[in-house]
Chains A and B, each alone.
Chain A
Amino acid sequence: MAEIAEGGGGGGHKGGKKRAKKSSTRVDMTPMVDLAFLLLTFFVLTSTFSKPKVMSLVYPAKPDPNDPAVDQPKINNAITFLLSEDKIFYYQDQFYPADKPGPNGPTVLEETNFGPNGLRKLLADRNAYVLQRKEGLDEKLKKKQIQDTTYERLMIDYKKHKEALKVLIKTDSKATCKNFIDLIDELKIAQIGVIAPVDLTKSEEELMNAKLK
Chain B
Amino acid sequence: MPKIKIPKNSPSIDMTPMVDLAFLLVTFFMLAANFRSNEPVDVETPSSISDKIIPDNVLLVTIDKGGRVFMNLTDPEARKEMLQNMMGKYKVGLNEEQIEMFSFMTSFGCTMQELPQYLNMSGEERKRFETKGIPTDSTNNQLKDWIFYGNIAALNSGKTAFEEAKLKGESPDPNDFKPKFTLKVDGKAVYVHAKNVIDIFRDLHLNNLNFITSLEQAPN
Q: B76 an interface residue at 8 Å Cβ cutoff? A: no
Q: A160 an interface residue at 8 Å Cβ cutoff? A: no
Partner of B210 from A26, A32, A56 at Cβ < 8 Å: A56
B219 engages A189 (CB within 8 Å): yes
Q: B92 an interface residue at 8 Å Cβ cutoff? A: no
B25-45 CB mask vs A (1 if < 8 Å, else 0) is 110011011111000000001
By secondary structure, the B interface counts as mixed
Report the minimal beta-carbon distance from B53 to chain A, rounded to whole angstroms. 5
B188 engages A178 (CB within 8 Å): yes
A185 engages B49 (CB within 8 Å): yes
A47 engages B213 (CB within 8 Å): no
A47 engages B187 (CB within 8 Å): no
Report the minimal beta-carbon distance from B72 to chain A, rounded to whole angstroms. 13
B63 closest partner in A (C-beta): A177
B1-26 CB mask vs A (1 if < 8 Å, else 0) is 00000001011110110110011011
What separation, in Å, do the CA atoms of A170 and B85 have in the docked complex? 36
A53 engages B203 (CB within 8 Å): no
Report the minimal beta-carbon distance from A185 to chain B, rounded to whole angstroms. 4
A40 engages B182 (CB within 8 Å): no
B209 engages A56 (CB within 8 Å): yes
B53 engages A177 (CB within 8 Å): no
B12 engages A56 (CB within 8 Å): no
Q: B89 an interface residue at 8 Å Cβ cutoff? A: no
Question: With a CB–CB cut-off of 8 A, which chain B residues contact A52?
Answer: 45, 53-54, 184, 212-214
Q: B91 an interface residue at 8 Å Cβ cutoff? A: no
Report the minimal beta-carbon distance from B130 to chain A, rounded to whole angstroms. 23
Question: With a CB–CB cut-off of 8 A, which chain A residues contact B47?
Answer: 185
What separation, in Å, do the CA atoms of A39 and B22 have in the docked complex? 9
Q: How many residues of B contact A (CB 8 A)?
A: 62
Report the minimal beta-carbon distance from A63 to chain B, rounded to whole angstroms. 10
Question: With a CB–CB cut-off of 8 A, which chain B residues contact A44?
Answer: 29
B219 engages A55 (CB within 8 Å): no
B12 closest partner in A (C-beta): A3
B36 engages A48 (CB within 8 Å): yes
Question: With a CB–CB cut-off of 8 A, which chain A residues contact B153?
Answer: none
What separation, in Å, do the CA atoms of A130 and B86 have in the docked complex? 47
B51 engages A53 (CB within 8 Å): yes
A175 closest partner in B (C-beta): B191
A177 engages B22 (CB within 8 Å): no
What separation, in Å, do the CA atoms of A60 and B205 have in the docked complex? 10
Partner of A180 from B19, B191, B199, B219 at Cβ < 8 Å: B191
Question: With a CB–CB cut-off of 8 A, which chain B residues contact A30?
Answer: 15
Q: A143 an interface residue at 8 Å Cβ cutoff? A: no
Question: With a CB–CB cut-off of 8 A, which chain B residues contact A6?
Answer: 8, 10
A184 engages B34 (CB within 8 Å): no
Q: Among B15, B185, B210, B215, which residue has the most Cβ atoms of chain A within 10 A?
A: B15
A53 engages B212 (CB within 8 Å): yes
Q: B198 an interface residue at 8 Å Cβ cutoff? A: yes
A48 closest partner in B (C-beta): B36
B52 engages A53 (CB within 8 Å): yes
List which B165-204 residues lie within 8 A (CB) of chain A.
Answer: 182, 184-195, 198-199, 201-203
Partner of A54 from B11, B18, B46, B50 at Cβ < 8 Å: B50
What separation, in Å, do the CA atoms of A61 and B206 have in the docked complex? 8
Q: A182 an interface residue at 8 Å Cβ cutoff? A: yes
Report the minimal beta-carbon distance from A176 to chain B, rounded to whole angstroms. 6
What separation, in Å, do the CA atoms of A37 and B25 have in the docked complex? 9
Jot down 14 A-B pairs with beta carbons below 8 A, ordered by A: A47-B32, A53-B54, A53-B215, A54-B213, A55-B52, A59-B201, A59-B207, A59-B208, A61-B207, A62-B203, A177-B187, A178-B188, A180-B191, A181-B46
Query: Which 6 pairs between the two chains have the least Cβ-Cβ distance?
Result: A47-B33, A178-B187, A43-B29, A36-B22, A55-B50, A54-B210
Given A48-B33, A59-B207, A175-B192, 5 other A-B contacts at CB below 8 A? A30-B15, A54-B54, A55-B213, A185-B47, A188-B48
